[in-house]
C-alpha cells in the first residue's frame, strides 16, 4: 500500500458535506463513528482518511432495540494498493474493495473497505 497522505487529506478536507449520503443510517455513522470506533479512526487518520466521510456505508435494518449493524464501510484513498494484503485494526479487517460504486476520480486512487470481524453497531437511542 503506497498512500499519498497529503492528497488524501486534502480530498477529505475539501469534501463538501452535501456530497455525503443524507439518509439516517449514514448520518448516524458520521456522527458517532469517531468516538465509537476510536482505534479505527486513529488508523485512518494516519493515512489522511476522515472516518466521518465514508465513500460508501453498508448497513442492515435496525433491530427492535434501535441498534444498527454496519457490515462494511468504504473510503477513497489516493495512491496505489498493489497487493491483496489485509490489515487488522482492533476488530476490523481493512483491505482493498473489489466492488464499489464509480468514484468519478481520474487521479490514481483505490477504495479501502473496512469490514467488522464481529460487529459494528451504533444505536439510534442515545
Confidence check: pLDDT of 82 > 80 = no
pTM above threshold 0.85: yes
Mean pLDDT of 2-6: 94
Confidence check: pLDDT of 118 > 80 = no
Q: Which domain holds residue 70?
A: 2-123
Confidence check: pLDDT of 124 > 80 = no
Contact predicate 94/87, CB 8 Å: yes
Confidence check: pLDDT of 121 > 90 = no
Cα 65 off chain centre by = 25
How many structural domains is the chain composed of? 1
The pLDDT of residue 104 is: 93
Give me the percent of the chain exceeding a pLDDT of 70: 99
Confidence check: pLDDT of 123 > 90 = no
Q: What is the mean pLDDT of the chain?
A: 91
**Helix, strand, coil % over all residues of the chain, rounded to 5:** 30, 30, 40
The pLDDT of residue 126 is: 62
The residue among 101, 109, 123 whose CA lies nearest residue 49 is: 109
pLDDT band at 109 (very low <50, low <70, confident <90, very high): very high
Q: What is the pLDDT of residues 40-53, one digit of tens each?
A: 999 999 999 999 99
Amino acid at each position: 500500500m503506497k498512500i499519498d497522505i497529503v492528497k488524501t487529506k486534502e480530498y477529505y478536507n475539501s469534501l463538501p458535506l452535501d456530497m455525503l449520503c443524507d439518509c439516517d443510517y449514514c448520518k448516524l455513522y458520521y456522527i458517532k463513528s469517531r468516538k465509537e470506533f476510536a482505534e479505527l479512526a486513529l488508523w485512518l487518520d494516519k493515512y489522511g482518511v476522515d472516518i466521518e466521510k465514508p465513500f460508501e456505508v453498508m448497513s442492515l435494518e435496525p433491530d427492535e432495540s434501535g441498534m444498527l449493524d454496519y457490515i462494511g464501510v468504504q473510503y477513497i484513498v489516493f495512491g496505489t494498493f498493489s497487493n491483496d494484503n489485509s490489515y487488522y485494526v482492533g476488530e476490523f479487517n481493512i483491505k482493498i474493495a473489489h466492488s464499489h460504486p464509480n468514484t468519478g476520480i481520474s487521479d490514481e486512487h483505490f477504495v479501502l473497505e473496512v469490514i467488522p470481524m464481529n460487529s459494528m453497531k451504533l444505536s439510534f437511542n442515545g
